[in-house]
Structure 1
């Protein structure tokens, strides 16, 4: 199956995994809404909504760049309205935008706590709520959220309780929305990488072995596999990129490695 002609609303798609998912869809001829905050270049984090839109169109898709802070309800609803006006509807929502702070409780300023919960948990719920009226009209609607499987083992909380709470908020939104809207034909799933993925944001985290990472393309290919599946056949699942691709017949994973043959680092929560 193909995403040709489908409209994807992707949050945080100006760089990294979100951009990789956008470009994979663009190669099918999809319409991609780049919904992100970055409208001007940042010396620390390359990529803007405009550069991402240009890449999408160069890859064969149609693009709409919308500056949007997903913590702000008015901005999200305006972005969704702009997407519907431009492309006639929304077929797929990818909740990719996320904020991270890998510190313990005493080293977590409340502004960081609020940022993570505002972007991760609240933003995922808000974007889903805004897109669902349009998804319910689509022929093969999907919500795909970049969130980990739920696991209440304390080892996932102790090093960074605030981040885990915020990230699991995205996972719980997936669980609840799948139960509510799966029976109505909207596939709602989460996707998480088995290994650490090398992105520009990762470069800002000290101590990460960048050569032990995979590229964002593995997540993009896994997302494509999920989003091209009939909605009523895949919902309420916490998908792992490598596991899903192996189930779909992929055997060559070295092509995703930053340094083929180098030992890979498992991602958080796995």
Structure 2
């Protein structure tokens, strides 16, 4: 793997596991100094240790992205440790999979606070440092649910649609200094998705059924999203901003499945 991010500092929110873990791993392999920002005090340090054992440089900073003071402290710790921020990956998110009538106000607020407000807060406190540097990249992790969705995921779909719209606005507001793009993952095998499979009588059969509905006949890996994020943050993507990259194995290309 080429080292496109040597001496660059990358913040990955929600980087302790799942998609965030895959993103942190790829950036570390490409030479970046990685800040794993997460509220998971078990998996956060484990991920950092894994990156270090592979030859990378990384730190863990505990952070609830919906909490403004914690976000400010996380950004300050990054600057104190590394002196700059080159890439922000707004990945932290939670799933609230309910219809409007089944969603409480507390459910709604928590989902939007983490998934959408978290993108706002982290960007708000990172952007001034990027402007001062004269360069930066922000990558927001949205979802295929921002474009096409299913029944019973109202808060989640709304939050991801908001991320996609916010991405465009941020790109306009802060270009050409900062490029801002989003990624829309499809099915990716994370602990959350595995827990969904595990809720069925035959988890392996359920997973295979989902795989067969995919154009690529497999479920994505966290690293698949990491490779896409690294591309968007690289100089090869220097003319790409304000757009959304679907990394979904062709899921949204299909009209319907049988």
Specify the TM-score bucket, using the shorter chain as the normaliser. 0.7 to 0.9
- Check the 8 A contact 1:35/1:66 in 2, yes or no: yes
**2:251 is equivalent to residue 266 of structure 1:** yes
Residue pairs, 1:46-57, within 5 angstroms: 48-57=43-52
What CA deviation, in whole Å up to 9, does each residue of 1:119-165 have, x standing for no partner? 0110100000010011123464100001147967xx73753222211
| Matching residue of 1:108 | 103
Distance 1:157 1:233, change over 3 A: same
Distance 1:241 1:151, change over 3 A: closer
| Matching residue of 1:186 | 178
Distance 1:216 1:268, change over 3 A: farther
| Matching residue of 2:231 | 225
| Matching residue of 2:29 | 27
Residue pairs, 1:124-139, within 5 angstroms: 124-138=119-133
What CA deviation, in whole Å up to 9, does each residue of 1:17-37 have, x standing for no partner? 111111111112211111000
Unaligned runs of 5+ in 2: 212-218
Work out the CA distance in 2 between the residues paired with 1:169 and 1:95.
Answer: 13
**2:205 is equivalent to residue 203 of structure 1:** no
**2:164 is equivalent to residue 171 of structure 1:** yes
Q: TM-score, normalised by structure 2?
A: 0.84
* Superposition RMSD in Å: 2.5
Instruction: Note the C-alpha offset of 1:268.
Output: 11
Residue pairs, 1:31-70, within 5 angstroms: 31-40=33-42, 48-70=43-65
Work out the CA distance in 2 between the residues paired with 1:67 and 1:201.
Answer: 20
Q: TM-score, normalised by structure 1?
A: 0.80
Structure 1 residue matching 2:4: 3-state secondary structure: coil
| Matching residue of 2:19 | 17
